[in-house]
Amino acid sequence: MATTTQSLASLPVEPEPIRSSGRDRASAPRRRGLLLRHVVLAAMAALTIVPVLLAVSTALKNDEDVRVDPFGFFTSFSLDSLRRAWTEGNFDNYLVNSVLLSVPSTLLIIAVSTMAGYTFARLPFFGRTVLFYLVVLGLLVPFFTYMIPLYFQLRSVGLLDTLGGAILVLTSVGVSFGTFFMRAFFSDLPEELEQAARIDGCSEWQIFVKVMLPLVGSGIGALAVFTFLSTWNNFLVPLLYLPGGGYRPLTAGLYTFMGGRSIDVGPLAAGTLITILPVIVLFVVLQKQVTAGFISGAVKG
Amino acid sequence: MATLAGNAPLVTRRAQRRLGILLVIPVSLIMVFFFLLPLGNALVYSVVDFDGISATPPFVGLDNFREMFADDEVWHALGNNAVWIVIGTVAPIVIGLSIALLLWGVQRGSVLYRLCFFLPYVLPPVAIGIVWGWIYDPVQGVLNRALGALGLDALQRGWLGDPTWALYAVLVTAIWSYTGFAVVIFVSALRNVDVELVDASRIDGANSPSRLWYIILPQIMPVFLMVLTLTLVGGFSVFDIIFVMTGGGPADATNVIGTYSYNQAFQLSRISYGTTLALLITILSVPFAVGLNKLQRRLSLQGTGA
């Protein structure tokens, strides 16, 4: 069991294979094959990226062009739509709200999952298995199964339409996965480390904070990026549990904006761009962590 | 030394238990209040008739379940779920594996390729729904224009407004967004495949389909099953992208259990019936997830043993 997760966990951190370089410099037919591969790959990559380019192109058109030819690629340039989305469309507030929702819930998920993951990996006690099954059940049951009762429950305790309530729900949605994820990282650490620290006189708390925690930094980083992206992208939680429209984030703002899709394509495109731009920037800058996070997350989950 | 080793475990165990309980308190509180309690309430809702207002909804026993099995729209929506599960699982896996095989051994530009393929997977469903709405636009849409330019005018239609095509149009969007995930997973799995075995089989005269079937696939089987599990279970519980793009319409054509449940609960205030429908999906999908996960675990254990 432990060896399985260990071998699987080594997937993302493995360096680029050196041996495959032998395939790059090869005989003439092999080289032609490689060129063909590049042609096919480039065509497919271009096709994949078209919708993203469409969002950028439409957001950057001038007013007249948006009316006449909203989906022609890069036929004009203007920042008017962005300006209108920002000022009239409230996307400046939405952006702030997105940060207010995703940052605290990401931090909460990481703190709670790290603590719980450590316990489920290394600190046995009576009743732990039952709690772990609860966490696994949270991974298996789709959100919409209990989202309706949760609505009435939040209303009855006064958490509906509050920032705190929405943050807590977002946290609860991500915490099952986070716990599962961090548990796999803590399970991979060698037992000897813990014993050595204990002989050196460390308390259990010191072993956790000073010895084990620094060793799962890459896991925490991957989880942070993954969690931030999924809370940023979540629109159902704010849509359902912030019905009054206060603290409405970008995703929910976009959804409510969609009603007038044919009329106001320009600002809608600009709003879309404002919503996906942080995601794209984060994704490109932290490309390695994101993919590593998704891979190990999927493999461990 | 011997006494220390003999005494330490007991003291240690007590200290570990104390810290362990302390560290799981937050996750337990959150899970109980925001997951277990509403899930329990969902079970309660399914045996009463709750409209969202009444404080003491009447007990109706299994009426909601009886209605569910007699409801034609449930079977229609389940059929759509089935279409979604089959196509939405097979397509990303086939396309994803093909791209991963193409990327295998390619060094120059591989980071850029992976970036392009994976990007759709991290974008918010709302944004994806909006942009693909423009692609499918009946008049100005990119797809219809491309078809027109190719002389395929006969194929042009309002993709999301056409009951026969809407589900498949949304499905294509989902495949677009999900395939990158399969690509990245398969690329990393292929890195662990024994290249010498593949080369040896090539020298022995195995053609590429049989190399794939007999040499490569068995080696990536655990990862293959994992992607299969995730897409299958995702297919049962699909909601976001359909909700954003069509809301289940036109005329219920793209309804899956998820959107049907939402519409019953929040548009018709039939809270109990909507919740019962949502429970159906959980009951259907959990055995699949558990079964496939068991199979995957057994296979990956075999893999490490060999």
Average pLDDT over residues B205-228: 85
Statement to judge: residues B205 and B277 lie in one domain: yes
Give the phi and the psi of residue A52 in degrees, each rounded to 5. -65, -45
Q: Which of A42, A124, A298 has the CB atom closest to B16's CB atom?
A: A124
Secondary structure in 3-state letters for B212-256: HHHHHHHHCHHHHHHHHHHHHHHHHCCCHHHHHHCCCCCCCCCCC
Asked if residue B167 has pLDDT above 50, the reply is yes
What ipTM score was computed for the predicted complex, to two decimals? 0.88
A132-161: pLDDT as tens digits = 999 989 988 889 889 989 999 999 999 999
Question: What type of residue is B150?
Answer: L
Residue B58 within a domain: no
**Which chain B residue is nearest to residue A261, measuring alpha carbons?**
B130
Statement to judge: residues B189 and B217 lie in one domain: yes
Q: Which of A55, A172, A234 has the CB atom closest to B127's CB atom?
A: A55
Residue B125 within a domain: yes
Buried b / exposed e across B243-274, counting CB within 10 Å, b at 16+?
Answer: bbbbebbeebbbbbbbbbbbbbbbeeebbbbb
Question: Mutate which of A16, A41, A58 to test chain B, going by most B C-beta atoms within 10 A?
Answer: A41
Statement to judge: residues B209 and B263 lie in one domain: yes
Question: What type of residue is B181?
Answer: F
Distance from CA of A259 to the nearest CA of B (A): 11
Statement to judge: residues B10 and B73 lie in one domain: no
Average pLDDT over residues B217-230: 85
B102-118: pLDDT as tens digits = 998 888 888 899 889 99
Question: What type of residue is A188?
Answer: D
Asked if residue A7 has pLDDT above 90, the reply is no
Q: How far is CA A23 from CA A289, B209, B221, in A?
A: 27, 19, 24
C-alpha closest to that of A279 among A231, A222, A217: A231
Statement to judge: residues B28 and B79 lie in one domain: no
Contact partners, residue A250, CB within 8 Å, separation at least 6: A91, A94, A95, A97, A98, A232, A271, A274, A275, B124
Statement to judge: residues B180 and B35 lie in one domain: no
According to the model, what pLDDT value does residue B226 have?
A: 82
Whole-number Å distance between alpha carbons of B273 and B278: 9
Statement to judge: residues B33 and B122 lie in one domain: no
Statement to judge: residues B13 and B149 lie in one domain: no
Statement to judge: residues B25 and B138 lie in one domain: no
Confidence of residue A169 (pLDDT cuts 50, 70, 90): very high
Q: Which two tokens stand for residue B48?
A: 């009463």
Whole-number Å distance between alpha carbons of B126 and A273: 12
Instruction: Name the CATH architecture for the domain at A90-300.
Output: Orthogonal Bundle (1.10)
Provide the residue range defining the domain that includes B70.
63-305
**Which chain B residue is nearest to residue A295, measuring alpha carbons?**
B185
A28-72: pLDDT as tens digits = 777 788 888 899 999 999 999 999 999 999 999 888 888 888 888
Statement to judge: residues B138 and B22 lie in one domain: no
Whole-number Å distance between alpha carbons of A29 and A36: 11
CATH number for position B120: 1.10.3720.10
Residue B54 within a domain: no
Maximum C-alpha span of chain A: 76
Domains identified in chain B, total number: 2
Statement to judge: residues B29 and B85 lie in one domain: no
Q: Does B298 touch chain A (CB under 8 A)?
A: no
Residue B198 within a domain: yes
Statement to judge: residues B297 and B192 lie in one domain: yes
**What residue has token string 């677009």?**
B176
Residue B55 within a domain: no
* CB contacts < 8 A (A, B): 309
Asked if residue A24 has pLDDT above 60, the reply is no
Residue B192 within a domain: yes
Judged by CB atoms closer than 8 Å, whether chains meet at B262 and A144 is answered as yes
Percent of chain B with pLDDT over 90: 50
According to the model, what pLDDT value does residue A218 have?
A: 85
Domain chopping of chain A, boundaries? 19-83, 90-300
